[in-house]
Structure 1
Amino acid sequence: MSKADSSIGTPAQLRDPNYFPGMAQAVPLGIQHVLAMFVSNVTPAIIVAGAAGFGFGSNSADFPSLIYMIQMSMLFAGIATLFQTIGFGPVGARLPIVQGTSFAFIPIMIPLVAGKGVDGMGVLMCGVIAGGLFHTLLAPFIGRFRFALPPLVTGLVVTMIGLALLKVGIQYAAGGVPAIGKPEYGSLQNWSVAIIVIVSTYGLKFFAKGILSSAAVLVGLIIGYIVAYFLGMVNLDNVSRAADFAMPVPFKFGFEFSFAAVIGFCLMGVISAIETVGDVTGITKGGAGREATEAEIKGATYADGLGTMISGFFGALPNTSFSQNVGLIAMTGVMSRHVATIGAIFLIICGFIPKVGAVISSIPIEVLGGGVIVMFGMVVSAGASMLSEVKWNKRNMMIFALAISIGLGLQLEPGALQHLPATAKILLSSGLLPAAFIAIILNLVLPEEAADEEKA
């Protein structure tokens, strides 16, 4: 269902968030929402677990923790989506907003857990809970911050997020994090599988229609998985060992206070909140042809923050509204929040079944690499699209130049910060926070009049 169908409802009905098109139409539309976001939703958990040391390629007894994190990514994406679509009190926009695990926090999370194994995850959960609480408290005031985050700043931040992840995509496609004594790293077989995923994804995206097109990355991964299976690259041992049903465990990874985690997650919470405002506006414009109301923006921000905070109590990562689903609403023309609710229920069911997480964990890292190369590249492209709205005068060019030079430079050479305290080192080595800080401050301080001096 790639565009509005008159058999689903009248144009007025399709623009109404409260309209229900009937189960025969709502179920496939809801599943289409899940397919569009599924891979992006579980990938951050895989990346963070890998950085901590219990992800792909590890022989650790803690490997089941990866399955648990994937499971929680699905469960709490579904729960947070219900916060948005059904809502309660001031929480929720009552719009077809689909929530999922956020990529934006990954550059902050990796330095916090790098090489620490499962024992290091308690620090991360401290950040998730604190960041979610701070995000929730922003809801009544979020509109007032928008002036400080024009496309120059938001585009830079999104671009930096993508650039921070590109290395991970290449490493995965080549066979995982390079290690001494791993001659198969970068082998022709590894790259061939990743390239098959990329080619399949692009072929489906541009030459297929409907669900095959909107879920091109997922279908591309399935094709790559099949090829990898026949090449003997798939290990299904964890699937047989995984339970048929499991409940989430409060404080699964414990809780350890970290000032760096709290500050980093709170600062990124501001960026995530602004991203949610943009997604809400995109949904109302694309689906209903109107601006979002103040109540919808506040409700969406409340749901975003509350969903993240609750996720942290059960060992899940921060979530946010998913932009790919915003585009899907514009494409299908169906604004019904009940459609997104059905998708959320499907995610919740999957979240209670560890075998689903085990199947996902059986995907060879080379296969996943092909998918994330596309996804991370699209993050950079999204940032470039935002930056295209910037008036590139001398003032804005100099702001961008300094912010990206320092941000990307510190990210590439974290050793330059070795004499700083541990907290400052973690916050600055992400590159994302210093770049955002520099861009925001300079944008507020440097006079706009200076931008026109070049014309004199």
Structure 2
Amino acid sequence: MADTSLGTPEQLRDPNYMPALVKAVPLGIQHVLSMFVSNVTPAIIVAGAAGFGFGSNSPDFPELLYMIQMSMLFAGIATLLQTVGAGPVGARLPVVQGTSFAFIPIMIPLVAGRGVDALAALYGGVLLGGLFHALLGTVIGRIRFALPPLVTGLVVTMIGLALVKVGIEYAAGGVPAKASGAASYGGLRSWSAALVVIFVTLGLKFFARGMLSVSAVLLGIIAGYIYALGIGMLSFEAIGQSWSRAAAFALPQPFKYGFEFSAAALIGFCLMAFVSAVETVGDVSGIAKGGAGREATDKEIQGATYADGIGTAIAGCFGALPNTSFSQNVGLIAMTGVMSRHVVTLGALFLILCGLVPKVGGLIRTVPIEVLGGGVIVMFGMVVAAGVSMLSDVTWNRRNMVIFAVALSVGLGLQLEVMNLAPGAPNALQHLPDTLRILGASGILPAALIAIVLNLLLPEELASEATEEISGGMAGHK
């Protein structure tokens, strides 16, 4: 329920209304707290996949720090594009932008084990994919028919399923420990830190209210961090080293890692841009409905899509990852009842400030991988749950069951087959060109392509037929 001390009901539903600064600032920071961990996690995952060392004495430490810093800075800049706008760019609604999880299954194969050398192609894909994403703004209203809940729900579910393995590996001790065969991998000490995060997060989410509930994942990770200090998993000396090695202030560097054209990166980012665009359409619609009790206008949806793409393209020029609207903040607007875009603008300015101070990234880097794993398990599980929620809107007739079954079987099958192989071992896609092999290994793009094509081609008449043939005769039984 909205707090009427912030303004009249009419004012609270107005995106252009500005509450008193003493109340607007905490509301803006609350938006940042609800997305902070999710925003920096993709950079840590991609850096880990590339083989960056996580220790403060690692030669890769400055690169990891820079990626975390850019995640915060350009999430703030992309959010300003949405809330303040620039010409046709931006919804001018309280839309919070952050680093997208959707692209992680595409990015991991591009950088796997290749270190800093892989980043030129990665950021080339981010830049070009962002420009393509912005172009989708001109046609987003006309292509939504090809992406019903059956397709988008499947894709979001597949994204979550592709990522849950990362959470388990982190909670057990991290990919480097697994690769080296370290005896500590999967030990009680590692799992205990992850479980502290999970239990504290769940406790706050279900039994607390207000900001405590909204920031449950962040507070869970803080609790895990304190626990890690208590059991000696992390030392104050290591924290001090990270803090001292990080600068007090630093500006982003354009094309720090160079620019390289990669067909796999370009195709992968462009295809996933469709998913991100549809997600943003849903978030903007949810904000308009939950905050103002109305439908989003075509101009707002188009402006939001432009901001998504341009924010991503700019981020790619400076070493940040693709941005998209954050769904958790949509729920926060519905909960607080404050529709003010200026509140979110204040949150964006706070993010930008954090992004210009590398010492913030230095502290984030000291979070033990096991502690981060506990938070990641919750976050990626929520991605799967969001996909299942979308699928609940599907009418499960024979036609839709066939589409879902074929797309899921091929996509998840490819994903699992490639994931479980030793390096250099033959795989189901080994005879494909490099570009197609990288794209197919994610499992998500093949599943999305199959679902879209079958949804457009299979006749609607199948929808009226019974489902007994597919469900083994169980349809209709109680």
Question: What 5-or-longer segments of structure 2 have no aligned partner?
Answer: 419-426, 469-478
**Structure 1 residue 247 corresponds to structure 2 residue 251:** yes
**Structure 1 residue 418 corresponds to structure 2 residue 416:** no
Deviations along 1:7-42, one digit per CA (max 9) or x if unpaired, are: 100100000000001101100100000000000000
Deviation at 1:64, TM superposition (A): 1.5
Of 275, 280, 286, 1:276 maps to 280
**Structure 1 residue 330 corresponds to structure 2 residue 328:** no
What pairs up with 1:25-424 in 2 under 5 angstroms?
25-56=23-54, 60-177=58-175, 178-234=178-234, 235-236=238-239, 237-414=241-418, 415-424=427-436
Please identify runs of 4+ aligned residues in structure 1 that moved more than 2 A: 55-60
The DSSP-based 3-state class of the residue aligned with 2:25 is helix
Contact 1:56 1:176 in 2 (8 A): no
My pick for the range that moved more, 176-185 or 5-14, is: 176-185
The DSSP-based 3-state class of the residue aligned with 1:100 is strand
Deviation at 1:181, TM superposition (A): 3.7
The DSSP-based 3-state class of the residue aligned with 2:98 is strand
Deviations along 1:187-244, one digit per CA (max 9) or x if unpaired, are: 0010001000000000011111111100000000000000101222223122221110
Instruction: Letter of the 1:272 partner, please give it.
Output: S
Contact 1:151 1:390 in 2 (8 A): yes
Distance in 2 between residues matched to 1:44 and 1:264, nearest whole Å: 17
Deviations along 1:271-314, one digit per CA (max 9) or x if unpaired, are: 11111111100000000000001110111111110000000000
Contact 1:395 1:448 in 2 (8 A): yes
Contact 1:280 1:292 in 2 (8 A): yes
The DSSP-based 3-state class of the residue aligned with 1:398 is helix
Contact 1:125 1:255 in 2 (8 A): yes
Distance in 1 between residues matched to 2:232 and 2:119, nearest whole Å: 32
TM-score w.r.t. length of structure 1: 0.98
Distance in 1 between residues matched to 2:201 and 2:226, nearest whole Å: 14
The DSSP-based 3-state class of the residue aligned with 1:212 is helix
Instruction: Letter of the 1:340 partner, please give it.
Output: V
Deviation at 1:111, TM superposition (A): 0.3
Contact 1:57 1:176 in 2 (8 A): no
The DSSP-based 3-state class of the residue aligned with 2:465 is helix
Instruction: Letter of the 1:425 partner, please give it.
Output: R
Q: Alpha carbon RMSD of aligned pairs, Å?
A: 1.1
Contact 1:46 1:55 in 2 (8 A): no
The DSSP-based 3-state class of the residue aligned with 1:271 is helix
Distance in 2 between residues matched to 1:152 and 1:138, nearest whole Å: 21
Distance in 2 between residues matched to 1:328 and 1:56, nearest whole Å: 33
Deviation at 1:451, TM superposition (A): 2.1
Deviation at 1:57, TM superposition (A): 5.8
Instruction: Letter of the 2:369 partner, please give it.
Output: I
**Cα 1:58–1:112, aligned 2, differ >3 Å: closer, same or farther?**
farther
What pairs up with 1:409-448 in 2 under 5 angstroms?
409-414=413-418, 415-448=427-460
Deviation at 1:63, TM superposition (A): 2.0
TM-score w.r.t. length of structure 2: 0.94
Instruction: Letter of the 1:452 partner, please give it.
Output: S
The DSSP-based 3-state class of the residue aligned with 2:466 is helix
My pick for the range that moved more, 302-311 or 411-420, is: 411-420
Distance in 1 between residues matched to 2:401 and 2:55, nearest whole Å: 43
Deviations along 1:353-386, one digit per CA (max 9) or x if unpaired, are: 0000010000000000000000000000000000
Instruction: Letter of the 1:28 partner, please give it.
Output: P
Deviation at 1:59, TM superposition (A): 6.2
Question: What 5-or-longer segments of structure 1 have no aligned partner?
Answer: none
The DSSP-based 3-state class of the residue aligned with 2:248 is coil
Contact 1:202 1:216 in 2 (8 A): yes
